Amino acid sequence: MTPHDSSDPTDPCYYSCALGYVLAEVGEGKVDFMIDSGSMVNAIPRSVAEDLDLEVVQVDIPMKGIGGARCDITGVVENCQINIGRFSGPAHLFVSPKAQDCILGRPFLFDYGCTLEYHEEGETLSFKGSKGRRVSVPLARIGHGKGWNNKKDLGTNNFKPFENSE
């Protein structure tokens, strides 16, 4: 298998995709949450918890992020009310001084039977609404936002095929 020799704008094979975010009301403010199906926790930066005046229970949980970098948990906001459109439900949000983004991870996705759907227009989050109906929220529209790339641009990556040592 070899990379494409041309940059076909209709090529459905992306090198990267934009991250999906959803706007939620938390406490007295609005927060953009990254939807991360690879995160084992819901997390917010300590500064966001302070800005929203959330009640944080102090904990000390060692944690590692991507690549093994330390991202210790120093608090948790238990049963924090999350409002997304007409949906409203509680979630436990772990607080980390090193977190960069607010993240709704696997616990939120499991708690509310969420599914991530990928289609021609982009990515959608669907989940059980407060009244039992399915609610769908757009997360990332193809071509909008940073991260979409289907052009061959390998940058500084140097690819050298293995040589036969026969």
Q: Give dist(CA 77, CA 44) in Å, integer.
A: 9
User: Rounded CA gap, 156 and 138, in Å?
Assistant: 33
Q: How far is CA 39 from CA 64, 94, 139, 145, 162, in A?
A: 11, 12, 17, 22, 35
Instruction: Please list the pLDDT of the chain residue by residue as tens digits (166 residues).
Output: 445 445 555 556 777 777 889 999 999 899 999 999 999 999 999 999 999 999 999 999 988 877 888 889 999 999 999 999 888 899 999 999 988 899 999 999 999 999 999 888 888 888 877 677 888 888 877 766 665 655 555 554 444 556 666 5
pLDDT computed for residue 143 by the predictor:
67
CATH 1.10.1660.10: does it fit domain 21-141?
no
Supply the pLDDT for residue 66: 75
Helix (H) or strand (E) holding 50: helix 46-51
Asked if 57 and 94 count as a contact pair (C-beta separation under 8 A), the reply is no
Q: Would you state the pLDDT for residue 46?
A: 95
Decide if 47 contacts 99 (C-beta within 8 A): no
pLDDT at 4: 46
Q: Which of 85, 104, 87 is nearest to 44 (CA)?
A: 104
